Chains A and B, each alone.
Chain A
């Protein structure tokens, strides 16, 4: 990821893929956004650019973020026998409803990893220890069978 200032216009963030292709996101001062795709024969020129509205940018980010998460989950299941994913509900009686994710100390206590939180229609991919938990959230956790069972107990009983 590369960040470049465009004086008087805004900033450009670039992602260079493993295959060597470059994708840029130009963020204008006035809030407008544009995705630039770079050509193969001329790596410095944006072959095409697509202006995005706020909603379109958010939708694109969601799709990419969510599909990335699903891809990772599927990959883990295929590669590592003995690892499981599980969806765990934070009930209204859970001691962690209203707390931050970090308060559960899930990683150190149960060796599981919480890879996403599903809240109503939204998905929060890669939550951080500061992400707040709410009653009704579904945690998507990856771990060994005993680890996931321990996590379920932690989330209900503390």
Chain B
């Protein structure tokens, strides 16, 4: 077959398959991320269906997927929301980082992986999946609940922290010498700080570059600006993802709202390719040996995450049941953990990191929503508040 014909056949068949998986995920009330990862693993190296013609497309598509994931995340938050979340939940954010990043780092060191891999695994266990958590909130009709603002604030702070973490990690994975590494690191943090300050301060000016109601020009413009900034960010070793995130934060008002709706189908397409590609580039035979460590890490960090949410909700004056709900809903790790693993694996720092991250994300992303449903079960509610009799309390 002709080259481009083969490309269409391969990509088309894969997309059709992903569409079926997405429907299946929706039917059983799960996030589609684990299914995409599994699909990638089964189609990947060492399996019966080789994807050669599409390889380049999938690689570029997955990089675009990361950028789109991040710009959409930035678009969701307005600068004022970032500021208020930082103010009200700073303590929760610090506790979240300490309780969930440290187990990952310690785990990597215990496996004898070296400091850079430890920083990467710390990030993987730290960040909850905003996408999955938001989905579970809606599915379980908890958007109106009183603990929800606490949950969302933690997610916002984690995402903002990623704007600093990712450049640090990018600097670490390439840092050849200690001196060069440190310089790159300081430059990266400075660049992000300046950019973040500029977007918070002058976001309105950037938004005025676009016309909110003209869909075509808005789509091309926002996508163009995002890729442009992502490219430059990549060039100065700040990571393309962070550049895209900052563009998302900088845009506000109607421009942000409309851009979000226009980019959302593109994000769905390329994010699916990103998860698939991550699965593709992981050898399924490497999963089995790390399954046990991954399960152990998942149990530990689901526990620490639950504790984080529990304490944060308590600080916000939420009752016992609400604290458990806030804790358990934060358990799933997802897109960010895979982005971090992708960054580390791309630089070739630890061959076992990719399979471990894959297994870890699969486990938490499947267990998380199930645990969240458990928090609503009658027996669980009785167990956490044994003395309160169910039923209406007389006034």
Interface residues of A (CB under 8 A from B): 4-9, 12, 19-20, 22, 24, 26, 29-30, 34, 36, 38, 40-46, 48-49
Q: Please state if B257 and A45 are interface contacts (CB–CB under 8 Å).
A: no
Closest 3 CB pairs of A and B: A36-B144, A44-B322, A46-B144
Q: Which of B12-20, B181-189, B211-219, B387-395 contacts A (4 or more CB under 8 A)?
A: B387-395
A8-B130, A8-B134 are contacts. A42–B381 as well, Cβ < 8 Å? Answer: yes
Q: How far is the CB of A156 from chain B (nearest CB, A)?
A: 47
A12-B144, A45-B325, A46-B144 are contacts. A7–B319 as well, Cβ < 8 Å? Answer: no
Q: List 22 A-B contacts (CB under 8 A).
A: A5-B84, A5-B85, A5-B149, A7-B155, A8-B81, A8-B130, A8-B156, A9-B143, A9-B152, A19-B395, A29-B257, A30-B257, A34-B144, A36-B144, A38-B146, A42-B322, A44-B147, A44-B321, A45-B145, A46-B145, A48-B141, A49-B144
Q: Please state if A20 and B395 are interface contacts (CB–CB under 8 Å).
A: yes
A7-B153, A9-B134 are contacts. A40–B81 as well, Cβ < 8 Å? Answer: no
State the CA gap A26–B321 with chains docked (Å).
21
State the CA gap A36–B257 with chains docked (Å).
25
Does B113 belong to the interface (CB within 8 Å)?
Answer: no
State the CA gap A9–B144 with chains docked (Å).
11
Q: How far is the CB of A1 from chain B (nearest CB, A)?
A: 15
Q: Please state if B141 and A46 are interface contacts (CB–CB under 8 Å).
A: yes
Contact code string B94-137 (vs A, CB < 8 Å = 1, else 0): 00000000000000000000000000000000000010001000
Contact code string B148-184 (vs A, CB < 8 Å = 1, else 0): 1100110110000000000000000000000000000
Does B285 belong to the interface (CB within 8 Å)?
Answer: no
Q: How far is the CB of B129 from chain A (nearest CB, A)?
A: 13
Q: Please state if B134 and A40 are interface contacts (CB–CB under 8 Å).
A: no
> Once A and B bind, how many residue pairs between them come within 8 Å at the CB atom?
83
Q: List the B residue with the shortest CB-CB distance to A42.
A: B321
Q: Please state if B392 and A40 are interface contacts (CB–CB under 8 Å).
A: yes
State the CA gap A45–B146 with chains docked (Å).
6
Q: List the B residue with the shortest CB-CB distance to A26.
A: B144
Tell me which of B81, B141, B388 contacts A7 (CB under 8 A): B81
Q: Please state if A44 and B318 are interface contacts (CB–CB under 8 Å).
A: yes
Q: List the B residue with the shortest CB-CB distance to A34.
A: B144
Interface residues of B (CB under 8 A from A): 76-77, 81-82, 84-85, 130, 134, 141-149, 152-153, 155-156, 257, 318-319, 321-322, 325, 381, 388, 390-393, 395
Q: Please state if B143 and A26 are interface contacts (CB–CB under 8 Å).
A: yes
Q: How far is the CB of A27 from chain B (nearest CB, A)?
A: 11
Residues on the A chain within 8 Å of B147, using CB: 44
Q: How far is the CB of B363 from chain A (nearest CB, A)?
A: 26
Q: Please state if B130 and A49 are interface contacts (CB–CB under 8 Å).
A: no
State the CA gap A45–B144 with chains docked (Å).
8
Q: Please state if B81 and A4 are interface contacts (CB–CB under 8 Å).
A: no
Known contacts A8-B155, A46-B141; 16 additional CB pairs below 8 A are: A5-B85, A6-B152, A7-B76, A8-B81, A8-B152, A9-B152, A24-B144, A26-B143, A34-B143, A38-B146, A41-B392, A41-B393, A45-B146, A46-B142, A46-B144, A46-B145
State the CA gap A20–B325 with chains docked (Å).
22
State the CA gap A48–B318 with chains docked (Å).
18
Tell me which of A4, A30, A44 contacts B319 (CB under 8 A): A44
Residues on the A chain within 8 Å of B318, using CB: 44
State the CA gap A45–B326 with chains docked (Å).
11
Q: List the B residue with the shortest CB-CB distance to A44.
A: B322
State the CA gap A5–B141 with chains docked (Å).
17
Q: Please state if B143 and A6 are interface contacts (CB–CB under 8 Å).
A: yes
Q: Please state if B76 and A43 are interface contacts (CB–CB under 8 Å).
A: no
Residues on the A chain within 8 Å of B149, using CB: 4-7, 12
State the CA gap A24–B77 with chains docked (Å).
22
Q: Please state if A45 and B142 are interface contacts (CB–CB under 8 Å).
A: yes
State the CA gap A25–B142 with chains docked (Å).
13
Q: Please state if B84 and A42 are interface contacts (CB–CB under 8 Å).
A: no
Residues on the B chain within 8 Å of A9, using CB: 134, 143, 152
Q: List the A residue with the shortest CB-CB distance to B390.
A: A41
A8-B130, A9-B134 are contacts. A40–B393 as well, Cβ < 8 Å? Answer: yes
Q: How far is the CB of A52 from chain B (nearest CB, A)?
A: 12
Residues on the A chain within 8 Å of B321, using CB: 42, 44-45
Point out which of A20, A34, A40 has the most chain B C-beta atoms below 10 A from its C-beta: A40
State the CA gap A125–B145 with chains docked (Å).
31
Q: List the B residue with the shortest CB-CB distance to A7.
A: B81
Q: Please state if A8 and B142 are interface contacts (CB–CB under 8 Å).
A: no
Q: Please state if B76 and A8 are interface contacts (CB–CB under 8 Å).
A: yes
Q: Please state if B77 and A8 are interface contacts (CB–CB under 8 Å).
A: yes
